[in-house]
Amino acid sequence: MTLTAKSVARAGLVSTIVAATAAAALFAATPANGAASTLAAAAQQSGRYFGTAVAANKLGDSTYVGILNREFDMVTAENEMKMDATEPNQNQFSYGNADRIVNHARNQGKRVRGHALAWHSQQPGWMQNMSGTALRNAMLNHITQVATYYRGKIYAWDVVNEAFADGSSGGRRDSNLQRTGNDWIEAAFRAARAADPNAKLCYNDYNTDNWSHAKTQGVYRMVQDFKSRGVPIDCVGFQAHFNSGNPVPSNYHTTLGNFAALGVDVQITELDIEGSGSSQAQQYQGVTQACLSVARCTGITVWGIRDSDSWRASGTPLLFDGSGNKKAAYNSVLNVLNSGTGTTTPPTSTTTTTSNPGGGGCTATYSEGEKWNDRFNGNVTVTGTDNWTVTVTVSSPQRIIATWNTSATWPSANVMVARPNGNGNTFGFTVQHGGNWSWPSLSCQAG
């Protein structure tokens, strides 16, 4: 059995147990059997939040408010904190609807994500017609005023929203703000930091989920540059608006992990997935697993409560139907959050050597293969004999779902005994990991 593989597996298990124990002590909503019954309580088990966008004009709808109060512990104003809402006339600030949402959230013990301080869209009319230094100063003044007004009440601000271009350029989107100079984004972040030093400052965008997309790479390079030059950025928001033309990418955990490795938190900020039934539920499951697999993915926000509340209601993209009933997608998200096993990041090293403790005349070496948000591949190479028996043990909730170059038997659900099948001394398998990225443990026996 490999020492390295085993210690990694143990470290993952220990951190999961610690997180679950701490959460159980803190949050009474966790029933004795460990499975939480709301999205917020389930997310809290791994120290994460589960949020929703809220519209001020729905705070009188008792079904809506009932679900909001019960299920979510983070709130984003869907439109009420945008530039056109908070500064309708230059230097005249208007916080009535935003305050309704912030006060409701805080009275209910929920936190608030601020959305959004600077954006090319939803600018008030007076700003749309500005340019140059006057616009730059108006933007900075807006950020200073709004972030100061809400100082101490905001967990994270989307300081700049949607500043990168779609398509293959990987560059900035043209806008009146961009035309004030390429440094407008860092100027915005510095102004936000000065106004509210304790809020996390995020860059937020859409179509940045697939690691191989040029837009994702463009944002990554900007964050890397900001971190290297000390521009104050703490987090990156991935809006995650998915549909059949823009499906959940299989490399989502790679994207989130690579951004997190730059030293920022990552958050899924506006999640919705058009569709229905089990296909929609599976995609929600994949997104949740991707977040759980990255330690610095601090939470998920869905972009509305019921399908009928959505900005694209006809696509039924949310977790509750128009009557407020839980959908299959709701159950899949809750189950993944309750699996509580996703607090480890994928291991970064690629190989480890496994020796047989019983001196069974052979050595099995495990090496990582491809990783996806729901599964990973592993390969094992055997030396010392051509007539081997390798026992592969995976840990719950992992399951081996495919094998190659071996003939396998299954003494139990999580134990596979592999023998040669005429294809040499390297075999492989696919593990459905359920958020648990621990390596399997191996032992090798000659004969």
Whether the Cβ atoms of residue 379 and residue 352 lie closer than 8 Å to each other: no
Q: Which of residues 347-406 bind ligand 9MR (CB under 6 A)?
A: none
Q: CB neighbours of 327 closer than 8 A, spacing ≥ 6?
A: 276, 280, 281, 318, 319, 320, 321
Q: Quick check: 173 binds ligand 9MR (CB under 6 A)?
A: no
Q: Specify whether 80 is catalytic.
A: no
Minimum distance, C-beta of residue 214 to ligand 9MR, in the bound complex (Å): 19
Of the candidates 79, 352, 356, 445, which one interacts with ligand 9MR according to CB under 6 A? 79
Q: Which of residues 298-357 bind ligand 9MR (CB under 6 A)?
A: 311
Q: Which is nearer to ligand 9MR, 122 or 141 (CB)?
A: 122
Q: Which is nearer to ligand 9MR, 240 or 431 (CB)?
A: 240
Q: Tokens 């470290």 sit at which residue? A: 11
Q: Which is nearer to ligand 9MR, 172 or 399 (CB)?
A: 172
Of the candidates 63, 69, 108, 122, which one interacts with ligand 9MR according to CB under 6 A? 122
Identify the CA nearest to 163 among candidates 239, 76, 75, 244: 239
Integer Rg of the chain from CA: 24
Minimum distance, C-beta of residue 383 to ligand 9MR, in the bound complex (Å): 54
d(CA 268, CA 281): 17
Whether the Cβ atoms of residue 35 and residue 12 lie closer than 8 Å to each other: no
Minimum distance, C-beta of residue 176 to ligand 9MR, in the bound complex (Å): 16
Minimum distance, C-beta of residue 272 to ligand 9MR, in the bound complex (Å): 8
CA distances from 377 to 54, 355, 431 (A): 40, 20, 6
Q: Quick check: 175 binds ligand 9MR (CB under 6 A)?
A: no
d(CA 335, CA 65): 23
Which token pair is 290?
A: 């991707």
Residue 310's φ and ψ, nearest 5 degrees, are: -75, 150
Q: Which of the following is catalytic: 270, 274, 368, 370?
A: 270
Angle between helical axes of 252-260 and 277-292 (0-180°, round to 10): 20
Q: Is 351 exposed, middle or buried (0-12, 13-18, 19+ CB in 10 A)?
A: exposed
Q: Quick check: 123 binds ligand 9MR (CB under 6 A)?
A: no
Q: Quick check: 80 binds ligand 9MR (CB under 6 A)?
A: no
What would the x/- binding string for ligand 9MR be over residues 37 to 56, using CB under 6 A? --------------------
Of the candidates 103, 121, 131, 423, which one interacts with ligand 9MR according to CB under 6 A? 121
Q: Quick check: 57 binds ligand 9MR (CB under 6 A)?
A: no
Residues forming the site for ligand 9MR (CB under 6 A): 78-79, 121-122, 161, 206, 239, 270, 311
The residues annotated as belonging to the active site are 270
